[in-house]
A and B are shown apart, each in its own frame.
Chain A
Amino acid sequence: MRGRKLGKAAFLSIVRNPMRSLLTMLGIIIGVCSVIALMALGEGSQRDIEEQVASLGTNLLIVRPGSTHMGGVRGGAGTLGSLSMADAERLGEGAVYLQGVSVEVREQAQVIAGGNNWNTGVFGVSLAYPQIRNYRLESGAFFDERDIRTRAKVAVLGRTVADELFGGENPVGARIRIRNVPFEVIGVLEPKGQSPMGSDQDDLILAPSTTVLYRLGDGRTVRSIVASAVSAGAMESAKDEIRDILRQSRRQLPGAEDNFRIFDQSEINQAATRVTGTLTLLLTSIAGVSLLVGGIGIMNIMLVSVTERTREIGIRLAVGARPRDVLVQFLIEAAVLSLFGGILGIAAGLGLAWGLYVVAGMSVVFNPAVIVVAVLFTGAVGLFFGYYPARKAARMNPIDALRFE
């Protein structure tokens, strides 16, 4: 019962001086508001980045040919023997940590359909490619085993290519010419948007690997092999496995440097996390500074309040309040003041983020954990900065407090 009375007394002393309480809480309100709003925006952009990274493919691993290495002079990537279809086949057969393997033969080519033409990348790929790279069909079908065997002249268009060549029409069934080789369009991909690096992932044509390699390319050069690991946790094992299999397949001597390189998504993830890390640091310092300022505001007003209410303290002590009771009373008051400010700040921050979402179309994510943390933190700030004034009140001598004018 006494706890509730003290809480009520604290609440009353806040609402009795609404203007002063508001000004006192302003520091906390602004601090919490900006943290909540920035957190929502930060998590929003983090989610955007994550979605872009995920759009590259699931647990993606990319194998590229290595570079030559002669007496310290290194050539560019691919100067050391290209990858081959056989390499990809061995990976597909032997690897247990991979759930899909595909070659990627790339030819930049002029494509003509009717009166339109467009320059784009034509990718010769295996059947597992859409799954590895997270491409989905919007309409039509993907090519099959037989198309690869027969080097069939069929193509699946990315959204951008379909739009450039056919405008609004459905291209499935239409004929196009890639470097003057006639192809039939059998499908169109769902749009994926930008990659984290900013390139258009829909500006491409997919065709059977053999078709591109032998009908458009030189019949040898496989630019890269892409694969997806069975799980995010299996990435390192998958890399080791790829290394073992490829060294055998490419008959590398023990001790010789790999003549290929394996890249994975974690490098891209790291870049994204670096951005978020900076943002988090910034937010933390804003939160720290504003809570410090807000806390000092509360300490200041509590000191004023303790002085103003010296007689009240004297009366309470005279009728039997222990110093501890007085301490608790003023601590509760400071905590309630701070919590009140925190709650107003949360409301203002959510409102601000929502406004930015509605007006400026920024992506925001509301994380309930952030709100809980903000509430706990502001309460703690009140207790921390309220302690000194409360202790001052509790240490008063009853008769001096009663005499205070």
Chain B
Amino acid sequence: MSATILVRDLTRVFRLGDVEVHALRGISLSIERGEFVAIMGTSGSGKSTLMNVLGCLDQPSSGEYLLEGTAVSRLGAERLADIRNEKIGFVFQGFNLLPRTSALENVELPLLYDRRRRIADPRGSATSALQRVGLGDRLDHEPNQLSGGQQQRVAIARALVTRPAIILADEPTGNLDSRTTLEVLSVLQQLNDEGMTIVVVTHENEVAAYAGRVVELRDGRVLRDFPVEGRRHAATDLSQIYGGER
């Protein structure tokens, strides 16, 4: 079976005037369909940069990136847009919701660009995506009327509404308390059980414990790449810790 994500010798160099910042210095990585990968590393190690490349938001300086067998780096802007729309759900480190726009409309946004009309009922799908992240009662709230955790969950709903093959989440639990963190992780694990490939950036070991595999970066290189022993199950933990209150 071919890898969903395959990168070889990926580098990304930022040029700021005369200074060159090497954010990625040769990353090789293969992620199979249905994996749940946690990317870890210190601040500035290149996690977000890697995610942006994997999410087709940024182009590598050199190296190869095959997404489901397609050499993404050779595609034009329009085809890349299609790939972002159909195959990838991206959750940003800083939410990136449209201001003055309801949660429902934010989640519907990707479906506005669903050219092949893969999703028959945009409104219904957006509603159930929000229900799935526990925001069924916040459909008409605008981002500034939602807490940080709620905004994060709207962003997750927006990522999953197109039923993408891959969800890339950059610190999806960075702003959440432990209970909401567990709820978000349980949603991600459910999606993973349904066959979605999930890549999550985190710097918390507790979060990484819910993934199947950890890739640790340092200084733009892969430092370690290992499977998680004794993987935890978020739904079980939720009902054990908060069981009675649900």
Contacts and interface: CB of A to CB of B under 8 A. Distances in A.
B82 A322 contact: yes
A320 B85 contact: yes
Most B CB contacts (10 A, CB to CB) among A2, A312, A398, A402 go to A398
A319 B77 contact: no
B146 interface: no
Given A319-B113, A322-B78, 11 more contacts: A5-B112, A312-B99, A315-B109, A320-B81, A320-B84, A320-B85, A397-B58, A398-B57, A398-B84, A399-B57, A402-B57
B217 to A, nearest CB: 18
Contact of A323 (B78, B85, B90): B78
B164 to A, nearest CB: 10
B110 A315 contact: no
A322 B113 contact: yes
Interface string A141-179: 000000000000000000000000000000000000000
B81 A317 contact: yes
A95 B168 CA distance: 94
Given A398-B57, A399-B52, A402-B57, A320 B113 contact: yes
Contacts, number: 64
Nearest to B89: A319
Contacts of A311: 96
A370 interface: no
A2 B52 contact: no
A316 B109 contact: yes
6 contacts: A16-B100, A314-B96, A318-B55, A320-B84, A321-B112, A322-B77
Contacts of B86: 320
Interface in B104-161: 109-110, 112-114, 158
Contacts of B78: 322-324
A322 B56 CA distance: 13
A168 B172 CA distance: 98
A316 B98 CA distance: 9
Contacts of A323: 77-78, 81
A322 B162 CA distance: 16
Interface string B66-98: 000000000001100110111000101000111
A83 to B, nearest CB: 82
Given A5-B112, A325-B113, A398-B57, A320 B96 contact: no
A5 B97 CA distance: 18
Contacts of A325: 81, 113
A402 B96 CA distance: 8
Interface residues of A, number: 21
> At the interface, is chain A mostly helix, strand, loop or mixed?
helix
Nearest to A401: B57
B99 to A, nearest CB: 8
A324 B113 CA distance: 11
Given A314-B96, A399-B52, A319 B57 contact: no
Contact of A319 (B58, B100, B158): B158
Counting from the closest, the 9 A-B pairs by CB-CB distance are A320-B85, A319-B110, A322-B81, A320-B113, A399-B58, A399-B57, A320-B84, A398-B57, A322-B78
A2 B162 CA distance: 16
Nearest to B55: A318
Contact of A321 (B55, B81, B100, B158): B81
B130 to A, nearest CB: 16
Contacts of A319: 84-85, 90, 109-110, 113, 158
Contacts of B82: 320, 322
A160 B216 CA distance: 108
A239 to B, nearest CB: 68
A192 B82 CA distance: 74
Contacts of B77: 322-323
Interface string A8-32: 0000000010000000000000000
B57 A321 contact: no
Contacts of A2: 112-113
A318 B57 contact: yes
A311 B97 CA distance: 9
Contacts of A318: 55, 57, 84, 90, 92, 96
Contacts of A321: 81, 85, 112-113
A306 B151 CA distance: 25
Contacts of B99: 312
Contacts of B162: 320
